Amino acid sequence: MDIEITASELLELRDNGCAVIDIRDATAFDYGHIGGAVNVPLSGITAAELPPKKLVLYCRSGEESKKAAEELRGRGYEAFSLSGGYIGWIHSRLADSSLNGQVELSLRKKFKKSIWCRFTKAINEYELVQPNDRIAVCISGGKDSMLMAKLFQELKRHDKFPFEVVFLVMDPGYSPDNRRIIEKNAEAMSIPVSIFESSIFDSVFNIEKNPCYICARMRRGYLYSKAKELGCNKIALGHHFDDVIETILMGMLYGGQVQTMMPKLRSTNFEGMELIRPLYLVRESDIKHWRDYNDLCFIQCACRFTESCAECSDNGQSESKRLEIKNLIAELKKNNPQVEKNIFRSVENVNLSTIIAYKENGEVHRFLDSY
């Protein structure tokens, strides 16, 4: 058998006990991987203790895994490389015409309690959707926004009151591969997306300080503008429960302030527009479970920074502050299983009488003012 194998050949080998090894970095693996794969980053593949059986390696596009497989063959392993890598695997997966029915059934049955009920609880508790709203559901191509789109379709089917949704995708300069993955995922899951283009990636590519923050701000502005043009009064973003608690800790540890990611916000630059976060109470672990249960494949992040990090960075320097916080919470959870809920509740149970100072509408109030 040639060193490069197809997706169908990988499935056959996997069913026969072959080990599937993802050599991308841990962040990319965590965001999405082939079922049954184990993560051995490229930097450690030569020193790793690998099982003495057939091995199938894959990276993002198939180039690095081919080189690694050749090196392992030189050491006596029966190693193969997945042609086209993870991107090729995604394209082969999206050819399954039964995908949408399976995804929708899983939300009504298996994930009703963990995802659907938490989605509707956030909508009701924070009054995110009102009669006659026209909501731009913003899809980036990742697992969170794609799930949110399917949940809004399910909400529409319940039809408790009239509202409209537009499934909005902004192409800020995606590579052709990533653009096709977004389009094919939307098609496979029967999400009628409206795509518009911008040049944000080109604008921020040479910015050295906080390019991701600037990119996010620019993308939100473009989304507000396009949504308003389409007659929408709200944009929906796919931030989930874990994003919320990570933001709380990031503000405290790196920003020196107590703040949170709000379930909804009025826009200060686009009059009459509002941002809502319907996945506010949905756990990321449940989103990943939904993704893996349905064998779904999404892009991690389509920007050039992430693409280069996923392929080239093996020294951990690409880890963001958010990833550091995520790891910290995971470590704290080992001793206190309630730590995530407690972080969330900490911004619901603020006792102002024990606060040294706080801001309201830009004005600072200190405890000495009423001492």
* Model confidence pLDDT, tens digit, residues 14-47: 888 899 999 998 888 887 888 889 999 998 887 8
Is the dihedral angle over the CA atoms 10, 13, 16, 18 positive or is it negative? Answer: negative
Average pLDDT, the chain: 88
Higher pLDDT: 205 or 224? It is 224
Q: In this predicted structure, what is the pLDDT of residue 159?
A: 79
| Global confidence as pTM | 0.84
How many Å apart are CA 20 and CA 23, to the nearest integer?
A: 10
Q: What is the pLDDT of residues 193-208, one digit of tens each?
A: 999 988 777 666 666 6
Residue 176: the pLDDT is: 83
Cα–Cα distance measured from residue 239 to residue 78, given in angstroms and rounded to the nearest whole number: 43
Q: What is the pLDDT of residue 210?
A: 65
Q: Crossing angle, helix 143-158 and helix 117-125, to 10 degrees?
A: 80
Question: Which of 318, 342, 335 shows the shortest CA–CA distance to 244?
Answer: 342
Question: Exposed (0-12), middle (13-18) or buried (19+): which is 284, by Cβ within 10 Å?
Answer: middle
Among 58-62, 79-83, 180-184, name the one with the lowest average pLDDT: 180-184
Residue 223 has pLDDT above 90, yes or no: yes
What's the confidence (pLDDT) of residue 33? 87
b/e code 2-32 from CB counts within 10 Å (16+ = b): eeebebebbbebbeeebbbbbbbbebbbebb
> What local confidence, expressed as pLDDT, does residue 208 receive?
64
Cβ–Cβ < 8 Å for 166, 236: no
Residue 216 has pLDDT above 90, yes or no: no
What mean pLDDT comes out for the span 156-165?
91
Cα–Cα distance between 57 and 79 in angstroms, integer?
7
Q: Between residues 94 and 18, which one has the greater pLDDT?
A: 18
Residue 367 φ then ψ, to 5°: -65, -25
Both ends of the chain: CA-CA distance in Å?
Answer: 80
Question: What number is the average pLDDT over the span 259-265?
Answer: 95
- Give the Cα separation of 20 and 34 in Å (integer): 8
CA distance 288 to 284: 6
pLDDT interval class at 160 (50, 70, 90)? confident
How is the beta sheet containing 164-171 ordered, strand by strand?
193-197, 164-171, 134-139, 234-236, 274-276, 264-266
